[in-house]
Amino acid sequence: MAKKKESKSEKGGGGSIPEGDYEKGKKIFKQRCEQCHVVNSLQTKTGPTLNGVIGRKSGEVAGFDYSQANKSKGVVWDRNTLFEYLADPKKYIPGTKMVFAGLKKADERADLIKFIEVEAAKKPQ
């Protein structure tokens, strides 16, 4: 009997995060994030750099003026925390300055995280 191939949505059920698609994530980043964030340098804009974000504690980019809520959250960013945060940033960190309403679709969040994971791990330009 042939094994059914899992869709991204099915893999996303039961608490696991879909793998994500780098190219789709790149498009989402350009459309929704790039206005406020960079990922390939240490520059800050309206939002902090996302370079090196994986494994970094919230509120810890030197020189960026975070809200007290963000500094106090104490979360370490990884796939799981970003996945939850990106669904509704204001719910995840009440009092955050981030005005982004979030990405409701799990596949879109996974795609964006995939792009950020790859790009944020590169040496800043």
Count CB atoms within 10 A of the CB of residue 14. 6
Check residue 2 and give its pLDDT. Answer: 42
Check residue 15 and give its pLDDT. Answer: 62
Instruction: Return per-residue pLDDT of the chain as tens, 125 residues.
Output: 443 333 333 333 346 899 999 999 999 999 999 999 999 999 999 999 999 999 999 999 999 999 999 999 999 999 999 999 999 999 999 999 999 999 999 999 999 999 999 999 999 98
Check residue 125 and give its pLDDT. Answer: 86
pTM of the model: 0.86
Check residue 12 and give its pLDDT. Answer: 37
Q: State the virtual CA torsion across 55, 60, 64, 65 in degrees, nearest 10.
A: 130
> What is the amino acid identity at position 125?
Q
